[in-house]
Amino acid sequence: MLLEEAKGRARILIVEKPGVKYLDDPPPVRPVEKASPEFLKEHTLPRWAEANVAALRAAWTLEGVEPGRTLVVGHSEGGIVAARVAAELPKVTHVATLAGGGPSQLFDFVANNARTRPGDKPGDAARRVQRVLDEWAGVLKDPESTSRFWLGHPYRRWSSFLKHSVTGELLRARARVYAAHGTRDPVIPVAAHDVLVAELRARGREVTAERLEGADHGFQTEGMKEGPPAGMRAVLGRVLNWFLAGEGKAG
């Protein structure tokens, strides 16, 4: 979608997660527990960011690529990866985090479990929140494990991601920031986006923020047809236009 939206106005580099072989074609639904040992070991925030950093540095050496202007985009889990890449590479001029949250993802889990649910009895929400905190404490007791799983991912993955945040990484970066989030996102609460925008602006950072009414985690709204992710494509188009505004072609 990003390549299609660029329409030749920018060079597009897509980086796969470390531990995934080129042209791998796994089943549509595959439990992470059945992933390769290499993937379970490599799927951490530092390693995924390192893969992106290495790919970007290599791309900057290619003929026809203009390293003076670079946009890094990440959606959901990729939001914090994009933010970390921008923090590690001062040459990155623009960064976009799409439905990526703001504080540690532990905040997302707590906030989602604190919501009142149909049929809740007094104290149910508090018990759910405490269970999340207790389970996280268990992860910290064996943070490097790739054989013990929580919420579908190994402890090693969680211990690397939840100790960091999109907000913290973007505060280390110099890049201009674009943040988009849907108000109907069931995965990452829109409050996390609000925290990100507030923290960045409180520190005088420039941020272009989109709070999309009625949009879900993939930026789809109830009025959109099933099929191609029109909402995501529209957001990517706006991100590219923001990046390219008044600059012509960019590398």
Q: Say how many residues make up the chain.
A: 251
pLDDT greater at residue 222 or residue 130: 130
What pLDDT sits at residue 29? 56
HSE-CB for 12 with a 13 A CA cutoff: 13
The mean pLDDT of 184-206, rounded to a whole number, is 97
Q: Residue 77 has which token pair?
A: 């889990």
Q: What angle do CA 109, 112, 115 make, to 5 degrees?
A: 145
Distance of alpha carbon 4 from alpha carbon 236, whole angstroms = 10
Q: For residue range 51-69, what is the model confidence (pLDDT) as tens digits?
A: 999 999 999 999 989 888 9
What confidence tier does 30 reach under pLDDT thresholds 50, 70, 90?
A: low
In contact, 35 and 68? CB cutoff 8 Å: no
Distance of alpha carbon 14 from alpha carbon 34, whole angstroms = 24
What pLDDT sits at residue 250? 34
Identify the DSSP state of 118.
T
Domains contained in the chain, CATH given: 2-7+32-105+164-244 (3.40.50.1820)
Tell me which residue of 125, 132, 84, 126 sits closest to 106, measured CA to CA. 132
pLDDT over 70 percentage in the chain: 94
pLDDT greater at residue 18 or residue 124: 124
Q: What angle do CA 34, 165, 93 make, to 5 degrees?
A: 105
The mean pLDDT of 205-232, rounded to a whole number, is 89
Q: By mean pLDDT, which of 36-45, 87-96, 105-114 is the weakest?
A: 36-45
Residue 210 φ/ψ, nearest 5 degrees: -120, 120
The mean pLDDT of 42-54, rounded to a whole number, is 96
pLDDT at 73 over 90: yes
pLDDT averaged over the chain? 92
Distance of alpha carbon 250 from alpha carbon 27, whole angstroms = 36
What pLDDT sits at residue 228? 58
pLDDT at 249 over 50: no
Distance of alpha carbon 246 from alpha carbon 4, whole angstroms = 20
pLDDT at 1 over 70: yes
